[in-house]
Amino acid sequence: MTVDRACGITTCSAVACGGHTHDAAYARVIVDVVTETLDRPLDYSIPDNLKGCVAVGSLVIVPLGNRKVGGYVVGLSDRAEVPRTRDILSVVGEAPLLDETMVRLAMWIRDRYACRACEAIRSMLPAPVRSPKAGRSRRQDSAPRAGPAPAHIPAPAPVSSPVPSARVDHTPARVISLTPAQARAVATIQRALTERSPKPILLHGVTASGKTEVYLQAIRTCLDLGRSAIVLVPEISLTPQIVGRFKARFGEQVAVLHSRLSAGERANEWRRLARGEARVAIGARSCVFAPCHELGLIILDEEHEATYKQEETPRYHARDAAIKRASLEGAAVVLASATPSIESFYKAMQGEYEYVELPERIDARPMPVVDIVDMRREHMDGNRGIFSRRLKDAIIDRLGRGESIMLFLNRRGYSTFVLCRECGHALKCPNCDVSLTLHSADGVMRCHWCGHEEPVPLLCPNCKGHRIGLFGVGTERVEAEVRRVFAGARVLRMDLDTTRRKGSHESILSAFSRGEYNVLVGTQMIAK
């Protein structure tokens, strides 16, 4: 028997991972109840009729006080650490939801991010999967079936894909010639795939240097080795774009996991991965927990993005979770960016990460010219608008040529703060002490941290003055100003406020690409 003190997991040498069980007498269970006193494994007896059905990672129903609750098995043992135990009531489903590696990752998240063990495990599983009703329970009182089995089972109905299909014809892919830098990057990742404990790889490639093709060829090697891969993207809006390229290369081996799928769609994709029907998982932050068997490669696209950090409990960072999972599974991990995070770049310079560079764009295309305009000088010269004269001239020129325009701004809403002009009082969130943002479409001020809302006051709450001013610029105001200033501009806005509905990302991008709109205003989700 082995005891992992850091994780609080007890395993027996006869217990195998991946759904294999062993006739242990006791199971250590994390109950799915959020309380301080229960944030530890509890010992339960395994009754004779459930022997061989309980494994590490199983979802079980157990008694707790005078009620029945769900729980996750995190260890098996031939002896209990308490004198008296109660029996497990039932096992949910045919197979464990987590393997032992994922259980250890959950305990690492608990310890690193100061959350409860059940919260860490919940973050790994879609809600329908972790529900006690998710699968048929094996109960102690094995009740007879309600009726005889039908003589004929009709063919199952086809299941629709959760990702809108672009009707990709899987014709033989054309041979793509890699640049020397791309070839070196692919070779580095391929070598890491054959190593036992590879270093994380920082892939530092300028914009349009061909990082995605490096991903595709590295994943091809990974699949050829009989292993699976995870690709993380920072924005849900990027998922349809990257999924299209990956499905064109790997077909139905690709599964998609992100929060904008319906609960049922997400559970179906999760089960495809768990059954091994799909071996490439693509998604946003939580996709780092995809149930991929024989994991060989994890790729973080745009690894510097702040969206990889979860703000709700458990407050994990997907980059750190990916590196930890890769170390537990002996997998390679690639952190890719045109502008790496300070932490990753420092570790690469210190030799903790392997550093690979893609210094040039494909086909030696030049980098775009960037003009920096001092808006203070513009205001001094009499320009009181939100657009500089240079930007205004460029927009007029491009519209005249019939070309499309993208305007990027990292703040949504109309005005980024509301201020009393008489006393200088700024209206702030009572919960977070940050400035409230005016959203003109809803007519409210909103906190972008906690969601608190309140109407714009007629009088200053501090001095009772009447001069309430709106300051700062958000995407709503840019959209309104483009409509007002530029004749012929057909404007579309893409930010969190306009993409809450399912499928809205795809519909906005499709409408813009078809030319129905010629100006797209948005936050960072339009940047790629």
Does residue 367 surpass a pLDDT of 80? yes
Binned at pLDDT 50, 70 and 90, residue 428 comes out as very high
Q: What is the pLDDT of residue 150?
A: 46
Pairwise CA distance, residues 24 & 477, whole Å: 64
Pairwise CA distance, residues 242 & 254, whole Å: 11
Q: Looking at the structure, do residues 313 and 395 belong to the same domain, yes or no?
A: no
Q: Looking at the structure, do residues 382 and 346 belong to the same domain, yes or no?
A: no
Residue 440: inside a domain: yes
Number of compact structural domains in the chain? 3
Q: What is the pLDDT of residue 308?
A: 96
Residue 369: inside a domain: no
Kindly report the three-state secondary structure assignment for every residue of 196-232: CCCCCEEEEECCCCCHHHHHHHHHHHHHHCCCEEEEE
Residue 164: inside a domain: no
At what angle are helices 239-250 and 211-224 packed, to 10 degrees?
40
- In contact, 485 and 385? CB cutoff 8 Å: yes
Q: What is the pLDDT of residue 168?
A: 42
Binned at pLDDT 50, 70 and 90, residue 120 comes out as very high
Q: Please work out, in degrees rounded to the nearest 5, the angle formed at the alpha carbon of residue 240 by the alpha carbons of 234 and 241.
A: 80
Strand pairing report for 26-31 and 42-45: antiparallel
Minimal CA–CA distance to 254: which of 265, 267, 243, 239? 243
CATH number at residue 8: 3.40.1440.60
Residue 215: inside a domain: yes
Q: Which residues span the domain enclosing 321?
A: 180-364
Q: Looking at the structure, do residues 84 and 49 belong to the same domain, yes or no?
A: yes
Binned at pLDDT 50, 70 and 90, residue 173 comes out as low
Q: Looking at the structure, do residues 410 and 311 belong to the same domain, yes or no?
A: no
Residue 165: inside a domain: no
Look at residues 364, 383, 410 and tell me which one is the last residue of a structural domain. Answer: 364
- In contact, 517 and 492? CB cutoff 8 Å: yes
Q: What is the mean pLDDT of the chain?
A: 87
Residue 170: inside a domain: no
Look at residues 105, 136, 167 and tell me which one is the last residue of a structural domain. Answer: 136
Q: Looking at the structure, do residues 237 and 294 belong to the same domain, yes or no?
A: yes
Q: Looking at the structure, do residues 255 and 303 belong to the same domain, yes or no?
A: yes
The residue-averaged pLDDT of 430-455 equals 93
Residue 437: inside a domain: yes
Model pLDDT for residues 7-41, shown as the tens digit of each residue: 444 333 333 334 445 578 999 999 999 887 788 99
Look at residues 334, 364, 394 and tell me which one is the last residue of a structural domain. Answer: 364
Residue 21: inside a domain: yes
Q: Looking at the structure, do residues 354 and 404 belong to the same domain, yes or no?
A: no
Model pLDDT for residues 195-227, shown as the tens digit of each residue: 988 999 999 999 999 999 999 999 999 999 999
Q: Looking at the structure, do residues 354 and 390 belong to the same domain, yes or no?
A: no
CATH number at residue 505: 3.40.50
The residue-averaged pLDDT of 306-316 equals 93
Q: Looking at the structure, do residues 323 and 468 belong to the same domain, yes or no?
A: no
CATH number at residue 191: 3.40.50.300
Q: Looking at the structure, do residues 274 and 208 belong to the same domain, yes or no?
A: yes
Q: Looking at the structure, do residues 218 and 308 belong to the same domain, yes or no?
A: yes
Q: Looking at the structure, do residues 388 and 456 belong to the same domain, yes or no?
A: yes
Pairwise CA distance, residues 260 & 522, whole Å: 19
